[in-house]
Amino acid sequence: MSNIKSSNIVITGAASGIGSLLARLCGEKKANHIFILDINDHSGKLLAEELNQKGVTASFIHVDLASRSSIQEASTQIKSACDHLDVLINNAGVVTGKLFIDHSDDEIETTININLNACMYLTKSILAGMIERKKGHIVNIASAAGMASHPKLSAYVASKWGLIGWSETLRMELEQSMTNVKVSTITPYYIDTGMFKGVKSPIIPLLKPERVAKGIIRAIEKDKIFARMPWLVYAMPFFKGVLPQRWFDFVLGKVFGVYGSMNTFEGKH
């Protein structure tokens, strides 16, 4: 079982949204040191100050997760501030909601870099220390969108699909090598934050951020391999495997209305 108490924890995208909720929950559970990684200096510093005022040791580190050099610099700062890391939560993500043909090359590259590549680069930079200590936990916040097609989310789906595949493979490698380093893959449905503003889901309700954050903490503490939210998402791999593709499309698209959920998206188009 992984403990939050007395742990050194890194959270990417922690200046706002789910990341900031995770940081506060880790503070409530008496984490030893919380590293808040984000590109938003103002919000990140405010959160670190808030946690420090509550008696929690927290540090803000500026990072551009689309840049390998920025990730490496952030990793160096973390290592200079503490002798080991216990938990890494790869939480940061971006979304562009439009038809694939309308994506710019920069939008595609940024989505893949932040949602997938950054997770691998940052994990690789700290994994050797966890393996050496035979202790650690990597948490990758993927998405239910990484398990099925979602029109107007092509680049996002690609990044999350890749994240799930890498996360699962990493888990298997670490288990086979008997490192005792845990890997949890989180696959929530749409979360009711600004990231997915305007999304409409007629059957499956959008998830409340607080519920998701608490679910992630539970997954860490219980060493869960997968944490899918809500419970209905657990059925998705089964139905995708047994139903003909057209039937699966009908159920997900027509019955649950998932394929049209991005039609009212008000975020970045």
Mean pLDDT, the chain, rounded, equals 95
Please give the Cα distance from 200 to 14 (Å, whole number): 26
Query: Among all chains, which residue has been given the structure tokens 């008496």?
Result: 30
Distance CA 85, CA 130 (A): 7
pLDDT (average), residues 245-259: 91
Q: Which residue has the higher pLDDT, 31 or 267?
A: 31
Number of helices followed by number of strands (H, E) in the chain? 9, 7
Q: Give me the percent of the chain exceeding a pLDDT of 90.
A: 84
Residue-wise pLDDT for 92-121, tens only, equals 999 999 999 999 999 999 999 999 999 999
The pLDDT tens digits of the residues spanning 222-233 come to: 999 999 999 888
Reference 193, options 94, 102, 113, 122; nearest CA is: 94
For residue range 130-180, what is the model confidence (pLDDT) as tens digits? Answer: 999 999 999 999 999 999 999 999 999 999 999 999 999 999 999 999 999
What does the DSSP assignment read for 207-223?
Answer: BPHHHHHHHHHHHHHTT
With a cut of 60, say whether residue 269 has pLDDT above it.
no
Give CATH for domain 8-264.
3.40.50.720
Tokens coding 54: 């509550």
Look at residue 194 in the predicted model and tell me its pLDDT.
84
Q: Can the peptide bond before residue 237 be classed as cis, meaning omega within 30 degrees of 0?
A: no
The domain ranges of the chain are: 8-264
Instruction: List the beta bridge partners of residue 226.
Output: 185
Residue 266 binned pLDDT confidence (cut-offs 50, 70, 90): confident
What pTM, to 2 d.p., does this model score?
Answer: 0.95
